[in-house]
Structure 1
Amino acid sequence: MTGHGEGWFALFPDCEAALAVASRLEPRAARTLTHPSGNPFIVGDWAGSVHARNSHGLFVALLGHTPVGAAELEAHLAGVREIEALDRLTARLPGDFHVVVEAHGEIHARGTAAGLRRLFHATTDGLTVAANRADVLARIVDAPVDEDVLALRLLDFVPHPLGDVPLWRGVHAVVPGELLRFGRTPTRTARWWEPPRTHVPLAEGADALRRALDQAVRTRVEAAGTVSADLSGGLDSTTVCALAAPVSAGPLPALTMPSRDPGDDDVRWARLAAAEIDGLDHVLLDIDEIPLFYSGLLDVRGPVDEPLPTILDQPRQLVGHDALLAGGSRLHLTGMGGDHVLWGHPAHHRDLLTSRPLTALRSIRGYRAQNRWSMRETLSVLTDRRPYGQWLADAADEITAPRPAPHSPDVFGWDIPPRLPGWATPDAAASVRRSLREAARTAEPRGATRALHNELHTLHHGTRATRILHQVAEHSGLPLASPFLDDAVVEACWSVRSEERATPWDFKPLLKTAMRGRVPDALLRRTTKGEASADAANGLRENRGRLADLWRDSHLATSGLVDAERLVDITLRPSSPELRHGGLDATLACEIWLRTI
C-alpha cells in the first residue's frame, strides 16, 4: 500500500471469537486498532485515517480523504451520548471516507452514498465480519465463487438489484446510502442517505458545485502534498487540473494520452488548457507509448473484487504512471465520475410530462431529433406503465433477443434491456433467466421515479467501475482519486432543477456555469467529444491471436458459461459486428478476473 489509496480493512465485534478469525489476516495486515478490551477491531492496511473516543464510550474512525483532523473530530464528538446521534453527525462531515462508529459493543459502519467506498459483510463461525472489499471477506470465510452471479456479469447491462450482488457465496453487499449495524444486536442495515430534492436554480447550484469540487480537490492535494492529474482534453479532467494547480506544491504534472483516431481532437484541447491554466506541467505521451486496447491482458494485476471492463483498461490507463511516481507524485487525480453525476438523465423529462408537459415535450422532441428515434418507438416507451418488477421479469425473457439500437428511447424507461452475448451457453442463459425472475418477485426500483432510479443506477455503476480502476492503480503504486464522486459533489449536482441540468440542447451546462472563469472559455464552447473506437478496432485486429489463445484455455468455458470454439472463431474475425458490439468487454472482464483471483 502507498499512503493515499483506500487500501483494505476488516471490522470485528468485541469478542474472544474475533481473535481466531482476525489471525487469518495477520500475514497481510499492516495496522490494527483494538477495542478497549484488547480484542481486534479494525485490521488491515489502510491510509488517511483519523479516530477519537469520548468520555461516554463512543468511538468514531474516518478512514479515507477528509480535512477533519483529530482535534476537530474530538470537538465534534464531545458531549455526544447516543450512537445514532453520531451517525447523523458524521453524515455532515466533508470528504470521501468510510465511517466506523462503536459504542458499548454495537458497531455502525458505512461507505459513501455515491458508492465509491463500499462495505460488505459475511458470517463465519457465528461471527459477523465486515470489510471494505468483498474479496477480503471471501478470503476470511473461504467463500467459493458463485457461478450464477458470474453468469449475470456476462450481460451487457446488469439490472438492479443484481449488480450489487458480490461474486462469492455468503458475502453480502451493503447498498450505497445504507449503513451496517452489527455486534451486540442482530446484523441489519439502515438507510442514512436520501438523494436531495431537485429544486435549486442552475446558477445557485453552479456556485455550490464549484465550492464542493474545490474542497474535494483541495483536500486531496493538501493531504498528499505532491500530486499529478489527468488532462484528457475533456471538461471534467480540465476542471480538476484547474482546481488542483493553484494549491499544488509545485507545477502540477498534467498527463495527456493521445489517440490513434485521426478524428480525435482531445490533444488539441489538452494543449489549449495546458497553455492557459497557470501552474501546469503538461506531460504529453508519445503515441508509441500507448498500448492498444486488449494488449497485456494477462499482465493485469489483481486481485480486484468484481469483474468490470475497467480492469481491462489497466495497461492503457496506467501508462505514464511509473514516471509520475518517480517524479514524486503520491496521488493521481482523475475526472472520472463527471459523466455520471453531471449528465442529467433524459427520464426526468418523462417525469415532467404531468407537471410541465410543454417543457417535457420540447426536450423529448430534442432527444428524438438527435438520436433519430421514430415516433412509434418513442411513444411505446413513454406509455409503458409496467412496474419495475414486471419490467425485470419481462427482461428475463429477452436476454437472447437482438440487441436494441444504441441510444434507443429505452432511456425514458426503467433501463436498457440487458442482453447476453451470442457465445453464452444455454446453461448460462438459463441461469441468468432464473436469477432475473427470482429478483423480479421482490425487486423495487432504486428511486420513486424512473429518472431517479436511472440516475442512481448510473451513478452506482460508475462508482463500481471507477472503484475497480482505483484498486488496480493501488497495486501499481500510484493511487487514484476521483473528486467528482464525492458525496458533496453529487448532492450539489442533483439539487439542481432537473430540466436545467438534463437537456438535449447543451452538454454539461451545470459544470460549464460552475467553471466559467476557471477553465479556458474556448473549452466551455467545445462541441466535440473524443472517443477511442479506432484504438479499440486496431486492438482487436492486432491482438486477435492472443485473444484466441485466451479462449482456448478459458476459465469461463471450463465453468460451462461460454462456448470457447465460437469465441475463437469470432475473435479471428475482428471486424465481425458480433464481436465489437456483442458484449466482448464484459466477457473478457470475467475471464481475466477469474485468472487474477
Structure 2
Amino acid sequence: MWFGGSGGPRAGWRRPVSSRPVWPDSAGFWDSGDWPRHERKTVERGGVRVAVFGPCGVSRNELEALAASDAPDDMAWRWPGSYTVVRLDHEGTTIWTDLGWAQPVYILTTRGVTTWASSSLLLASLNGHRPDLSQITDRLIDPDLSESAARRSWFAGVERLPPGHRVTLARDGTVGVGRVWVPRHKHGLDHPALLRTELDAAVRLRVDTADAPSTDFSGGFDSTALGLIAAEHLYPRRRRIIASTVHPSGVTSGGDLDYAREAGWHPGLHHVWLPLGDEHAPYQELDRVPATDEPAPTTVSHAYFSAQLHWLAREHGCDLHMTGDGGDGLLLTQVGYLADLARAGKAVRAVRETALWAHVRKKSWFDVLGSIRKSSSPQEGRPWVNKVAREQEAPVAELFEPCTRSQRSVISAVLPAGRTARSDAQIAERCGIGLHNPYFDSRIIDTCLAVPTRELPGPARYKPLMAEAMAGLFPPRLARRTTKGDASADHYGGLRKALPRITDMLDGHLAALGLIDVPRLRRVVADTAAGLSSDLYPVESAVAVETWLRALTARPTTTWLIERTEART
C-alpha cells in the first residue's frame, strides 16, 4: 500500500498507472487503491482537501475541522495511531509526518517535477532503481550510520522526509521543511498511567477495525502487554485476540515460553502455539524475500516471519497482526542517562546507578564508563568493507535538538526502527496481513520521552515504567522479570546450516559494486559460524543487503503516466 503526489513549476503531473486519484479530479494526488477504509480518511470543504493515511483515531468531525480552519501542527501526534496527514489547498500541498517514522514519506525531483510517495521503491522506479552506495557502505560498517540518516534513502536521488515535520510543496516547486515536534519533559505527572492510557488507545484502534486480530506473544513485556490489553478490551464484547507464541519444534517450556504460558490464560485471549522446524531457521528462504523500500529487519529470519503470518491468515483467518517491536528502545533506559544525571546535579545518584548497573551486568566501572562513551560515537570500520566517497549525513536525532542524552538515545534507536519496520509491513502485505507496531505510534513516543531525567529509572532496572503501567494485568512472575530473552543461539545455528549457501552468495551484487573484499568477508562469516566471533552484525548486515539487492533485480515493472504520456521504467 502506498500514496503520493506530484507537482512543480512545469505544468503536468506523474502517477503510477496502477494508482487511483484520491479525489476524481486530483491526478496529482493518488494512492494504490488497496487501503482499508479505516486507514484512508478524506474530507473536502471550501476548496480545502485533507487526507489521513494509516491507523488514526481522528473522528469525522475532527477531520472536517481540519479542512475548515488553519491546520494545527500538533495533529501529527494529536490522535492515537501511526499516520500521515496531507492537506491540499490553493497554495499547494502540505504533509505532516508522524513522529515514529512508521509511515515514512520520500521525495524525488526529476525534470522539473517533484514527486513524493510513501514508498521509496516506488519512487526509485522513476530513477532506474539505482541503490545509494554511501547508504549501503554505512550499513555494512555500522547500523547507526545508515539507519539514522535523516534525509538519505537507500536509492540514489530519493530523499526521506524527516519525522515529526511539516513539509510544504508549493505550486511553484518550492519545498519547505519545518519541525513541528520536540521532546519535552513533563513534570508532576503519573507517567506509568499515561503510558497505559496511550497503549490502551493504540491497541483499541487496531483491534476494533480488524475482523480477526492477532499479536506476537513471546513472553516478553512488550508483546504480552499488547495481547493482555486487547483481551481486556475484547472479552466484554465477546471477541478475542489470537496470541501467537512461536517455539522450536519439540520445545514447549523454559525461558520465555514459561512466561507466555502463564500470561496466556487471560479471558479474551486465545493462546496458540506455532512449532518451527529447521526449515524456518535464520538464513533460510532468502530467495523468497521480496523487494522493499530498504533491507527489512526480518530479512535473515524471513522463513520464520513469513511462515507465522501465512499460518495466522490460513488457520485463524487473521487480518491484522501486532508486534512488540520498538518497546526495547522506548522502555529500556540507556546508559547515556547516567551522564544526564550528572549534568542535572545528581552526582550521588549517578554514582549509585552506575554501581548498580555494573553489578547487574557483572562489569567493572571502567567498562560501564567506556560503554557510555561508546554510545555516542560510531563503531570503527570493518576491514572487509571497501569505502566509497560520501557526504556527511546528519543523524535524525540532530533534528530535535536540544534534548538530553537519554532522549537522543531513544530517538536514535526508535525512529529509524519505526521506518525500517515499514519494510516488514510490506512483506506482511504479501502474506495477506496488516502488520502493526504500536510502540512506534506518535503519542506513545511523545509520552515516553516526556519522563523527566530525575524520574527515569536507572538502566539496571528492567522496564519499570511498563511494569507499573501494567500493574494488575501482568502475571506476578512476569512483572518481576529482570532480563530479556536472547535468540542469538538460533542465529548461530541457522548460519552454520546455511554456511555453504551464504558463502556463495557473498560473491554477488555487493562484490560487483566493489563494496566488499569477498575473501575477507568469507573469513569473517566462517569465523562467526564457528563461534570464534560474538558479533553477528557483520554477517547479518551483509546478507540482508545482498538479499535486498537481489530482490531489486526481480522487482515488478512500474508504469507511470507522465504529463498524460505513458513511460515504462
TM value normalised by structure 2: 0.87
Q: 1:183 deviation in Å?
A: 2.8
Q: Choose from 7, 10, 18 the match for 1:13.
A: 7
Instruction: Give the aligned residue type for 1:557.
Output: A
* In structure 2, distance between residues paired with 1:524 and 1:168: 44
Q: Secondary structure at the match of 2:280?
A: coil
Greater alpha carbon shift after TM alignment, 451-460 vs 499-508: 499-508
Map residues 455-474 of structure 1 onto 2, 5 A cutoff.
455-474=410-429
Check the 8 A contact 2:76/2:96 in 1, yes or no: no
* In structure 1, distance between residues paired with 2:396 and 2:410: 21
* In structure 2, distance between residues paired with 1:89 and 1:268: 41
CA offsets per residue over residues 10-40 of structure 1, 9 Å max, x none?
2223888444x21xx11x32x321475x533
Q: 1:329 deviation in Å?
A: 1.1
Structure 1 residues 531 and 90: alpha-carbon distance in aligned structure 2, compared to 1, 3 A threshold = closer
Q: 1:318 deviation in Å?
A: 2.8
Structure 1 residues 522 and 368: alpha-carbon distance in aligned structure 2, compared to 1, 3 A threshold = closer
Check the 8 A contact 2:8/2:114 in 1, yes or no: no
Instruction: Give the aligned residue type for 1:154.
Output: L
Map residues 548-587 of structure 1 onto 2, 5 A cutoff.
548-552=503-507, 554-572=508-526, 574-578=529-533, 580-581=535-536, 583-587=538-542
Q: 1:207 deviation in Å?
A: 1.0
CA offsets per residue over residues 403-459 of structure 1, 9 Å max, x none?
xxxxx3335x524x22343422xxx23x2xx537x4489995753333222221011
* In structure 1, distance between residues paired with 2:198 and 2:483: 27
Structure 1 residues 270 and 18: alpha-carbon distance in aligned structure 2, compared to 1, 3 A threshold = farther
Structure 1 residues 497 and 297: alpha-carbon distance in aligned structure 2, compared to 1, 3 A threshold = same
1:162 alignment partner in structure 2: 149
Check the 8 A contact 1:99/1:109 in 2, yes or no: yes
2:118 alignment partner in structure 1: 132
Check the 8 A contact 2:149/2:395 in 1, yes or no: no
Deviating beyond 6 angstroms after TM superposition, the runs of 4 or more aligned structure 1 residues are: 260-263, 440-443
1:175 alignment partner in structure 2: 162
Q: Secondary structure at the match of 2:114?
A: strand
CA offsets per residue over residues 318-339 of structure 1, 9 Å max, x none?
3232232122211011111111
Q: Secondary structure at the match of 2:4?
A: strand
Q: Choose from 190, 202, 207 the match for 2:193.
A: 207
Greater alpha carbon shift after TM alignment, 8-17 vs 220-229: 8-17
Structure 1 residues 577 and 178: alpha-carbon distance in aligned structure 2, compared to 1, 3 A threshold = farther
Q: Does 1:284 align with 2:273?
A: yes
* In structure 2, distance between residues paired with 1:109 and 1:450: 29
Instruction: Give the aligned residue type for 1:284.
Output: W
Q: 1:86 deviation in Å?
A: 4.3
* In structure 1, distance between residues paired with 2:416 and 2:382: 20
Q: Secondary structure at the match of 1:109?
A: strand
Structure 1 residues 580 and 541: alpha-carbon distance in aligned structure 2, compared to 1, 3 A threshold = farther
* In structure 1, distance between residues paired with 2:506 and 2:143: 22
Instruction: Give the aligned residue type for 1:254.
Output: A
Q: Does 1:304 align with 2:292?
A: yes
1:410 alignment partner in structure 2: 373
Q: Choose from 516, 523, 547 the match for 1:592.
A: 547
* In structure 2, distance between residues paired with 1:541 and 1:594: 23
Q: 1:187 deviation in Å?
A: 0.8
Map residues 426-441 of structure 1 onto 2, 5 A cutoff.
428-429=386-387, 431=388, 434-435=389-390, 438-439=392-393
* In structure 2, distance between residues paired with 1:306 and 1:213: 28
Q: Choose from 320, 327, 335 the match for 2:324.
A: 335
Q: 1:344 deviation in Å?
A: 2.3
Instruction: Give the aligned residue type for 1:316.
Output: Y
Q: Percent same amino acid among aligned pairs?
A: 29
Q: Choose from 342, 353, 358 the match for 2:342.
A: 353
Structure 1 residues 440 and 231: alpha-carbon distance in aligned structure 2, compared to 1, 3 A threshold = closer
Check the 8 A contact 1:337/1:466 in 2, yes or no: no
Task: Report how many aligned residue pairs link the two structures.
Answer: 539
Instruction: Give the aligned residue type for 1:591.
Output: E
Check the 8 A contact 1:49/1:62 in 2, yes or no: yes
* In structure 2, distance between residues paired with 1:168 and 1:33: 26
1:44 alignment partner in structure 2: 32
* In structure 2, distance between residues paired with 1:460 and 1:11: 24
* In structure 2, distance between residues paired with 1:546 and 1:164: 35
Q: Secondary structure at the match of 2:337?
A: helix
CA offsets per residue over residues 339-392 of structure 1, 9 Å max, x none?
11112222122122132221222112222333455445655x5xxxxxxxxxxx
Unaligned runs of 5+ in 2: 553-569
Instruction: Give the aligned residue type for 1:456.
Output: I
* In structure 2, distance between residues paired with 1:209 and 1:496: 10
2:461 alignment partner in structure 1: 506
Q: 1:225 deviation in Å?
A: 2.8
Structure 1 residues 65 and 149: alpha-carbon distance in aligned structure 2, compared to 1, 3 A threshold = same
* In structure 1, distance between residues paired with 2:112 and 2:185: 41
Greater alpha carbon shift after TM alignment, 559-568 vs 585-594: 559-568
1:385 alignment partner in structure 2: none
Q: Choose from 313, 316, 320 the match for 2:304.
A: 316
